[in-house]
A and B are shown apart, each in its own frame.
Chain A
């Protein structure tokens, strides 16, 4: 599966975030900053790939639109018993981002959202792989986004079982890629998008390559200590593997290894994304 465009936006660094100007004004007005960033990033990826609308949208998110979830919880608390505003409720569903992208560009193809903690994006990428195997000419938009709330820092501090890796901070971000089964002029391609038992990971990584390892929050050692911990660059959030993929895509043409493995662990299960020069 070939990558035709890859755009990421994360932390506080991207100001203005890519693609913000592409979000229809009537929609952007009613969006919070994180939502605007996600939709903008998706539209920027489509523009970079030179297409107006994709044939399918597959999306991962660990916690969905957290700001809207918080707002509706506060609304319930503040106005219990009276008529509440539905806006934040409507936006709190996990598939809000791909739903709004579809709405913005009239994308009527499959539109799926996956949520499984740090392994959310992997399922979206696997579904994109299935799609382009069936329809190699289709252009598929695949991405992930998560939001940060100060509450997450407070909760992480209050939970004795959570140990943030040294130097990494809880953050947020969005990343979108356009992929297809045709090489065109693509420089990189996805070789693997996999989720499975931790003990099977080594067998899946049967070719050498640079290794980017995901954050481990439960205090256990990283799954591959020789890898470069990508969360120091992407920040800690559950869409970080998608950002790591964009980083790997950007760096592959100039790096020594022709391939990068991105490995993540959530409990007893692992995720693997392998991307290489083509």
Chain B
């Protein structure tokens, strides 16, 4: 084992499947869906389906011992990060790099007052402090006692996959000993109206990679991973859960929001991540696909996968269980990949009725218990942003 290989030594997550990695594991192994109507959030979309975290901001704040008047993004982030860091002593956190990701940051709070600000009423101006997407990372770093490098990736729906990629890079070049990488996004009206304006939202629970798919369900959540070199982990007595073997980011350079018909950007991201890992496509046991459920994404993504793989490995969109958690998705699905490797199972791609016409493969239709050595996890975003991670057994 290369001593500078990047190990994952801690994971934490919260999504529509529940709070904590045990809840994610339980949901994925039972093939449970977290998709439903809103029950907690006060947002005007009774007809739509979401992957909502069934804890109010007050509940989240109480769990982490914080104020409820923070952005929900920050509360979700802190909860997931605390779980990932449970075994990391405080003195080690001090110089830890924090690399987070978000698309909306504190928009869930600022969108409720911004229109009044724009109309000249500056009541609650203090909410503006929590608006920037990087603010949740500052709060998170302060809460966990990290005072080293800090940044927030904001590349739309691939954001936290890119956070993991940068984390691995900092470790390999010796610029950090310990990295917390991940991302968070809360549901808010801004993004819901946004994806609705793009006609990208399914009016039913989403059906990724199904021929009759009708769009995505938005979700919310947060996920963080503790990354360190194998050598560093072992010197601290920590057993790696899995390895980040490869990572790549490419640009499709085709359209601001749509993917090119042959999925060239996604194809190159997957190809380059495999090359960095030094693996051939046949080494992949499972693809945790991006699979939003939109017409454009799923057909182009599957086209790209079929171009890369002569024999398609099982592929799944766990967004069928969690909804699309935007900037949190890459890290959440990296956590799911670790769970698949650690516990030996392939999750189910829920609600697929028939495979996409004209293509040659279908997503998983059952939870299958099977040893998993290597997972390819993909995340694609606006701005032609395409990322892929290769996560392997130690």
Could you tell me which A residues sit within 8 Å of B by CB distance? Answer: 57, 61-64, 70, 72-74, 76-77, 80, 83-86, 89-96, 98-100, 102-103, 106-117, 119-120, 122-123, 126-127, 130, 133, 151, 154-155, 158-159, 161, 194-197, 266-269
Contact = CB atoms under 8 A, between A and B. Distances in A.
A252 B296 CA distance: 50
Given A113-B153, A197-B147, 18 more contacts: A70-B114, A73-B111, A80-B44, A90-B198, A90-B382, A95-B381, A96-B256, A98-B383, A99-B256, A108-B253, A109-B251, A110-B249, A112-B155, A112-B166, A116-B138, A116-B150, A117-B138, A195-B149
B251 A107 contact: yes
Interface residues of B, number: 63
Contacts of B118: 70, 73-74, 151
B80 to A, nearest CB: 19
Contacts of B190: 72-73, 76, 89, 92
B197 to A, nearest CB: 4
B150 A96 contact: no
A220 to B, nearest CB: 16
B193 A76 contact: yes
A107 B253 contact: yes
6 contacts: A64-B154, A108-B252, A108-B253, A155-B117, A159-B129, A197-B94
Interface in B43-77: 44
A59 B137 CA distance: 18
A57 B197 CA distance: 29
Q: Which 4 A-B pairs have the closest CB atoms?
A: A99-B383, A89-B194, A123-B151, A94-B154
A99 B384 contact: yes
Given A102-B251, A159-B126, A269-B147, A116 B134 contact: yes
Grouping DSSP codes into helix (H, G, I), strand (E, B) and loop, the A interface class, with mixed when no group exceeds half, is mixed
B122 interface: yes
Given A86-B194, A114-B153, A119-B150, A103 B256 contact: yes
Interface string B239-274: 000000000111111111100000011001000000
Contacts of B268: 108
A127 B166 contact: yes
Contact of A76 (B103, B155, B173, B189): B189
A38 to B, nearest CB: 13
Nearest to B272: A110
B173 A133 contact: yes
A95 B156 contact: yes
B377 interface: no
A195 to B, nearest CB: 5
B103 A94 contact: yes
B311 to A, nearest CB: 27
